């Protein structure tokens, strides 16, 4: 009988850096993200940044790219229709935006100005409540980051690109209506900001590289110490989110660490703890899996930040450092075991983790339109649907201009939602009519004038910028939605999410209809995710050609409407209807 090969994980506890992946070696040699090492050559990251600004190089090196991600920078190259990287060298810059904001009017104006001056004149809202700038050219890269940090960094919500990408804690999410909900206002946003501060990189490299003028820039790190992350940071990205008892738009169970407030009256003194979620996989690699978070128990509010810190340290110590496909916490947790992790939290870190029955997880909410705010009832927030998160001016629809005018005129707060929409907050009751008039004058549709299918749909950017994308997503989903609308299916209540690759940034596996790229023009289709995010969708088609996507989507949505005699919610109907029956209803049995 052939013995199964046992693979011992390579971790900080049992190996040295020479046994780890090249990215691990690059991080270790960076001395707190300050240096890049290419072969035997070691130089400051700033040296490549200067060469880029002087147009001495077209883009940064691969070694620099591994470090740049920790500064919120992704090296990219524009791609043609077949996916070839043949266009301009460009960058994507992501702003870390804990809890989705609240951004002040001044910060919003700064972001809007940056889109006009340094990027493609759009603001891209993300599914983690962040903000991205696309088509940033090398000469504008440092100038953009300095612009964001110069006058807008700390006025209300702390704006920075540091830690928006890379092997650290990413943007810490929170329900956008956490303290706005008129029936149950809470204060989890302050915890999200505290987590973001606690797990932010401490090295001085970011400030030295981007925020000093040429005279002030130094050639060695002033501070390379990382008390939480150490010299090699985490093995992979790490994601944290806090839901609300009435809103799971953050997709609680997809987080590395997720919290749900336990309400006693109007206060949340404790939080249910979930951990080990993550949806990204690699095609044809069975060891990678879509996994939902596991319930560990209940922690007191005053230990929420300490709990995240403890889990991050466990992941730092025990996470896989050679095979990056096995390096996420979701795999580390299951390798260590839930009970040993709970014991470590209690005994080593002093977390008062109590065994308890988890409370129900709420459904995803979209917050579109007008809603009264908690408090004196004299103010409202307005949920503005933003198709696929791309805020721009196109033709008669001058959305970016309208939002900036409203925000500055009324000195509003702005929040980004996990569904890539915007909340305009603290609008006085007597200015609601004026807001609607400004939106109308700028060609911005009201939520009630947008079809249900379109309002609930979401896609990642994918081509032509993302280097990981196999297929289209953001650019093609509106075409699919229009086909549904033209077929009279626009008002069917169904959540459709689409991504260009199996990293699934727009969270298709928990959608009612989820789509992600496979090859140059094929898609995996999953159906039957639960509205509360507690169930993964099942595979309907392992590989559907792009040419059949319209027919498949029409068939699915029509089946939800016409072949669902019990009137089940879309996700329940799709999940409980046998796969072969769904294919028969669609009329596409085997693409």
Query: What DSSP string describes 108-148?
Result: HHHHHHHHHHHSSS-EEE-TTS-EEEEEE-HHHHHHHHHHH
Query: What DSSP string describes 193-204?
Result: HHHHHHTS---S
Segments of 473-528 assigned E as strands: 496-499, 513-518, 522-527
How much is the pLDDT for 84? 74
How much is the pLDDT for 152? 61
Structure tokens at 103: 């951004």
* pLDDT tens per residue across span 301-329: 999 999 999 999 999 999 999 999 999 99
d(CA 500, CA 464): 10
d(CA 477, CA 483): 10
Helices H, strands E: what count in the chain?
17, 23
Place of tokens 């003194």: 269
pLDDT tens over the chain, length 591 residues:
344 455 799 999 999 999 999 999 999 999 999 999 988 889 999 999 999 988 999 999 999 999 999 999 999 988 776 667 778 899 999 999 999 999 999 999 999 999 999 999 999 999 999 999 999 999 999 999 988 887 666 655 567 899 999 999 999 999 999 999 999 999 999 999 999 999 999 998 998 888 865 555 555 667 878 999 999 999 999 999 999 999 999 999 999 999 999 998 888 999 999 999 999 999 999 999 999 999 999 999 999 999 999 999 999 999 999 999 999 999 999 999 999 999 999 999 999 999 999 999 999 999 999 999 998 779 999 999 999 999 999 999 999 999 999 999 999 999 999 999 999 999 999 999 999 999 999 999 999 999 999 999 999 999 999 989 999 999 999 999 999 999 999 999 999 999 999 999 999 999 999 999 998 899 999 999 999 999 999 999 999 999 999 999 999 999 999 999 999 999 999 999 999 999 999 988 766
Domains in the chain (CATH in brackets) are: 369-449 (3.90.480.10), 459-586 (3.30.413.10)
For 43, residues 6+ apart whose C-beta sits below 8 A from its C-beta are 35, 36
Side-chain-facing half-sphere of 531: CA atoms under 13 Å:
17
Q: At 120, give phi and psi (nearest 5°).
A: -100, 20
Neighbours of 224 (CB within 10 A): 17
How much is the pLDDT for 151? 65
**Element containing residue 393 per DSSP (H, E):** strand 393-394
How much is the pLDDT for 4? 45
- Flag whether the pTM goes above 0.75: yes
How much is the pLDDT for 218? 56
Q: What is the CA radius of gyration of the chain?
A: 23
How much is the pLDDT for 41? 86
Structure tokens at 138: 């090398």
């Amino acid at each position: 009988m052939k013995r199964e090969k046992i693979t011992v994980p390579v971790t900080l506890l049992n190996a040295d850096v020479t046994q780890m992946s090249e990215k691990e070696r690059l991080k270790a040699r960076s001395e707190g993200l300050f240096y890049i090492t290419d072969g035997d050559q070691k130089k400051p990251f700033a040296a490549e940044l200067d060469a880029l600004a002087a147009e001495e190089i077209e883009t940064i090196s691969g070694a620099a790219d591994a470090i740049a991600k920790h500064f919120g920078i992704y090296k990219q190259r524009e791609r043609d229709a077949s996916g070839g990287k043949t266009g301009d060298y460009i960058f994507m810059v992501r702003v870390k935006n804990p809890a989705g904001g609240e951004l002040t009017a001044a910060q919003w104006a700064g972001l809007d100005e940056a889109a006009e001056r340094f990027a493609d004149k759009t603001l891209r809202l993300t599914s983690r409540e962040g903000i991205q700038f696309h088509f940033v050219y090398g000469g504008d890269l440092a100038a953009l980051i300095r612009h964001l940090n110069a006058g807008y960094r700390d006025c209300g919500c702390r704006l920075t690109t540091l830690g928006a990408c890379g092997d650290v804690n990413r943007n810490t999410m929170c329900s956008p209506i956490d303290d706005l909900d008129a029936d149950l206002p809470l204060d989890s946003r302050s915890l999200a900001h505290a987590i973001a501060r606690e797990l932010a990189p401490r090295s001085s490299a970011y400030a030295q590289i981007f925020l000093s003028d040429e005279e002030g820039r130094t050639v060695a790190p002033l501070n390379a110490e990382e008390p939480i992350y150490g010299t090699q940071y985490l093995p992979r990205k790490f994601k944290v989110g806090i839901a609300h008892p009435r809103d799971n738009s953050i997709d609680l169970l997809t987080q590395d660490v997720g919290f749900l407030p336990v309400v006693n009256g109007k206060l949340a003194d404790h939080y249910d703890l979930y951990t080990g979620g993550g949806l990204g996989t690699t095609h044809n690699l069975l060891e990678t899996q879509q996994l939902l978070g596991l319930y560990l128990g209940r922690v007191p509010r005053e230990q929420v930040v300490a709990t995240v810190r403890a889990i991050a340290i466990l992941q730092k110590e025990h996470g896989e450092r050679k095979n990056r496909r096995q390096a996420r916490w979701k795999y580390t947790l299951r390798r260590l075991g839930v009970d040993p992790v709970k014991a470590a939290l209690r005994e080593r870190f002093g977390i008062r983790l109590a065994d308890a029955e988890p409370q129900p997880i709420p459904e995803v909410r979209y917050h579109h339109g007008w809603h009264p705010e908690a408090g004196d009832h004299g103010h409202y927030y307005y949920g503005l649907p933003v198709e696929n998160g791309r805020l721009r001016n196109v033709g008669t629809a001058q959305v970016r201009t309208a939002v900036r005018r409203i925000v500055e005129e009324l000195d509003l707060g702005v929040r980004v939602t996990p569904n890539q929409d915007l909340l305009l907050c603290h609008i006085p009751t007597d200015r609601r009519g004026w807001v609607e008039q400004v939106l109308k004058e700028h060609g911005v549709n009201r939520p009630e004038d947008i079809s249900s299918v379109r309002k609930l749909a979401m896609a990642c950017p994918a081509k032509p910028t993302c280097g990981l994308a196999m297929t289209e997503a953001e650019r093609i989903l509106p075409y699919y939605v229009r086909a549904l609308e033209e077929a009279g299916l626009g008002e069917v209540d169904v959540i459709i999410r689409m991504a260009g690759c199996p990293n699934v940034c727009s969270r298709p596996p928990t959608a009612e209809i989820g789509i992600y790229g496979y090859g140059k023009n094929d898609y995996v289709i999953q159906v039957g995710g639960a509205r509360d995010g507690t169930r993964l969708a099942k595979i309907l088609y392992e590989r559907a050609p792009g040419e059949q996507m319209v027919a498949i989507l029409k068939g699915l949505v029509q089946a939800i409407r016409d072949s669902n005699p019990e009137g089940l919610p879309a996700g329940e109907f799709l999940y409980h209807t046998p796969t072969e029956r769904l294919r028969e209803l669609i009329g596409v049995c085997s693409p």
